[in-house]
Amino acid sequence: MTTKKHLFLNGALLLGIQAASAQFVVGGEGFFIKSGTTVFVDSLVMTPNADLTIVNNSIAISRAAIPGVPKGSVARVYQFGAPISYSGVIGFFYANSELNGNTEPELTLSYNSTTGQIGFVNTSPANASSNFVSQTLASPTTLQQVTAAASASALPVSLLSFSVRPDGHKVKIEWETASERNNKGFEIDRSPDAVRFTRLATVDGRGTVSSRQKYQLVDDSPEPTVTYYRLRQVDFDGTVKDYGIKSVVFDSPNHSLKVVAYPNPVTSRLSLLLPDGRPRSLKVDWLDPVTGRRLSTESIEAVGAEQPLTIPSGLRSGLYLLRVNSGDISESVRISLQK
């Protein structure tokens, strides 16, 4: 079991992590950080510029560097169990033994919203005397991994952002990369139900570049109510990276809000896609699809269009019914769990 230690000191909150697990875990009760409060999580330093609540999430530390050319990241990578939206100061202390061939003057804070792909942030050099690297993120930024690397290195294609939004009766799709390596291009698919996708367009990549690249596309004929968009990146060797699903909702008086569970089938991580992204209180029940017996219940304060779910530990591989209820939502989704 993970051990948590809480100590307030001069307005800062220090959180210790048990060395054996190297993980800080937050359940459904949530962990609240007041704006301007500095939090230390095993050398990770966070001072949000807006109130921040972390729910059903974890922070783990990996000593395996992210590969790159000519150099990879340092051998200290912080991994959030699910992406968080964060603004404010974030940084961490590192040991000389973790530099992994990098020199401190060239280090910059590096982050991304997906596992295994790192984007660079333009920062001042690391503080060599204190072994510390940090950056201020002025606007909300999605984070799942945080580390440091040399700004001149080319890591695999690193996605900084992916968004979709209504533009009149059309939909504007935008994404941005921090760097690219062997990038042939992108595939953009759309769907009315987040299950059956068809190709909307392909967009050429920039090959190998170490600077930010912006892309955009317009869907002239979206669905009248909800449209789901999937972004994939393709290397020249045929390797495909899936960057997830986003949705757009057009108001309709006869439209009932639809919940989609993704991915399905699922092995370990499951998310609910809530089309309009409004904050709401959800009650989520896992049911036996044959008897209707309730196997597990979870209450969630959902914020945003994508809400990660906790898969009950006692469930075996098989089919289940996921029942989601809120003031304006009543939906049952059949889930195939493959452990």
291 class by beta-carbon count within 10 Å (0-12 exposed, 13-18 middle, 19+ buried): exposed
Residue 124 above 70 pLDDT? no
pLDDT at 111 over 90: no
Q: What's the mean per-residue pLDDT of the chain? A: 81
Does the bond joining 224 to the residue before it have cis omega, within 30 degrees of 0? Answer: no
Give the length of the chain.
Answer: 339
- The pLDDT value given to residue 318: 92
Q: d(Cα 16, Cα 227) in Å, to the nearest integer? A: 43
Interval 320-327 mean pLDDT? 88
Residue 296 to residues 15, 17, 178, Cα–Cα distance (Å): 30, 29, 41
pLDDT, residue 257, reads 58
- Reported for 251-256, long-range contacts at CB under 8 A and 24+ positions apart, including other chains, are 252/224, 252/225, 255/225, 255/226
| Least confident piece of the model among 78-82, 112-116, 265-269 | 112-116
User: Could you read off the pLDDT of 64-108 as tens digits, one per residue?
Assistant: 888 766 778 899 999 898 888 899 999 999 999 999 998 888 888
Between 339 and 10, the higher pLDDT residue: 339
Dihedral (C-alpha) 273, 278, 280, 282: value to the nearest 10 degrees? -10
Delineate the domains of the chain, giving CATH numbers in brackets.
Answer: 24-150 (no CATH), 158-249 (2.60.40.10), 260-337 (2.60.40.3080)
Whole-number Å distance between alpha carbons of 81 and 23: 10
- Report d(CA 67, CA 156) in Å as an integer: 8
CA 194 to each of CA 153, 311, 321: distance values in angstroms, whole numbers, following the listed order = 36, 20, 17
Q: In terms of pLDDT, which residue wins out, 264 or 127?
A: 264
From CA 96, how far away is CA 115, in angstroms rounded? 25
Q: What confidence tens digit (pLDDT) does each residue in 161-196 have?
A: 888 988 888 999 999 987 787 899 999 999 987 778
Specify the pLDDT at position 231. Answer: 95
